[in-house]
Amino acid sequence: MSPQRPWLEQLHAGSEALQGVLSAVLEAERHFSAPASPLERLRQITTSPEWAWLQPLYRLIADIDHALASAQELPVEEAAAIGAHARELLSGGGAPAEQPFLEHYRALLQSDPAVTMAHAAALRALQALPPETTNQAERLHARHQWNERRRFLRLETPGRGAS
């Protein structure tokens, strides 16, 4: 990563921290689920309606990783928008479609110490990203750019649908 663009390294750290949250959530949920092989569990998580609540988190991680793969084009404003989106997902205030995630996630935060610790680590990593601008028009533009990048990356990747 470029020393002139430290937000890329911070974004990578944020993605790793979000992966830690996902891992802790899956481990906590494993205690409530029927035994399954790793491959079967992956199939359930990605296709079963019972696990649809988890999509906002794992899609965000995949989208960040795809954006980092084409990082030469990722401006600081988008990195700030990504950080804000991720913090909103974990803390509330996200899109209405993310509310089922938040309901399940909050219950796990209160009942599983590993999820709580991963949550705190993720928020610390995401807080290291550049802040969003205070100019509302610029902030909305950066968020729009991030959403367009996500949509484009999903259309470009075989086997993934746009959402």
Could you report the per-residue pLDDT of 54-93, keeping only the tens digit for each?
999 999 999 999 889 876 778 899 999 999 999 999 998 8
Domain positions in the chain: 6-156
Buried b (16+ CB within 10 A) or exposed e, 112-146: beebeebbebbbebbebbbebbeeeeebeebbeeb
Task: Please answer whether residues 20 and 91 qualify as being in contact, where contact means their C-beta atoms are separated by less than 8 angstroms.
Answer: no
Instruction: Read off the pTM.
Output: 0.86
CA distance 66 to 46: 18
pLDDT, tens only, 87-113: 999 998 878 888 999 999 999 999 999
